[in-house]
Amino acid sequence: MPRRKDIWRCGLLTLPVGEVLAGGLSHAPMHWLPEEPAFRFLADPFPWRGRDHLHIFAERYDYATRHGTIDLLTLDEGFRVIDRRPCLREDWHLSYPQVFDADGATWMLPEAYRSGGLTLYRMGKGPEGWVRETEIRLDCVPVDATPLRHDGRWWLFYSPADSKVTKLGHLHVAWSERLTGPWHPHPGNPVRIDSTSSRPGGTAMVLDGRIMLPVQDCTRTYGGAIRPLWIDRLDETGFAARAGAPLALPVSAGLYRDGMHTLSSGGGVTLIDVKHIDRSLAGLWLDLKRTLGRSFA
């Protein structure tokens, strides 16, 4: 039975991503969200600015249940959490809740590979209410699918859920004329095979005319670091990219120095998450109790 547990914490800064990549995170002025109770965490934070407030959508995870759901956090002008509530729960694990505006609506595209697919949600009456819009069909069940609107069409970057190797080290691409599809897988898939820089890890964007996709470096550990993947060619038949150096962790991360696997942007802020690896006997005991509970259920 594995004892190690990744415990994540989310941080916010008011620098744009371009400045973060140029100057690094080591001494960046971070605003850290409060830590969660033992063996719970918030991870995969994505920002969205509503009419009156900045909101953060994040995965809420509890090792007692091992089931991820999506929480909505509302922040005041000083980046303090003034409201928090669940906003999306399914029978399967959810994470990586990208929220973005397009085509006159607000959308969420969360990670949900354990459902066997990928579902696009549309915002209902407010940021706490989401309605299933459509299932996006691709050449595989995707992990951490990341959208980008570029040159008049939609692009989607993702890793296949086929195996641990493909989840951590393969990159696929698809394109569509409309966000709701149909989607066309790139004929070169996988367009990249490299555990240092293939699995998506945040908001894809165009910086100074170049496409930048945050990707995870998983050579040492899952979510060991974030690198920028600079994409030099992206079209229906070709793909070329070059990975930049991994981002150093903020000094203020303290205990959380074992990895980072999200770099997201929007609403005038940049978000990250960092982790520490818990190897305590308390974590092992939590797993034993969970296993025994299932045995006698």
101-158 pLDDT, tens digit per residue, is: 999 999 999 999 999 999 999 999 899 999 999 999 999 999 999 999 999 999 999 9
Of the options 2.115.10.20, 1.10.10.60, 3.20.20.70, 3.30.1060.10, the CATH number for the domain spanning 5-295 = 2.115.10.20
Contacts of residue 219, defined as CB under 8 A and 6 or more positions apart, other chains included, come to 195, 196
Strand partners, 216: 199, 226
Whether the bond between 190 and the residue before it is cis, its omega within 30 degrees of 0, is: yes
Q: Tell me the pLDDT of the chain averaged across its residues.
A: 95
55-83 pLDDT, tens digit per residue, is: 999 999 999 999 999 999 999 999 999 99
Residue 286 and residue 38 in contact, taking contact as beta carbons nearer than 8 Å = no
Q: Taking 70 as the threshold, does the pLDDT of residue 278 lie above it?
A: yes
- What local confidence, expressed as pLDDT, does residue 71 receive? 98
Domain boundaries, the chain: 5-295
Strands 54-62 and 69-75 come out as: antiparallel
DSSP per-residue letters across 163-195? SHHHHHHEEEEEEESSTTS--EE-TT-SSEE-T
Structure tokens at 151: 């040159």
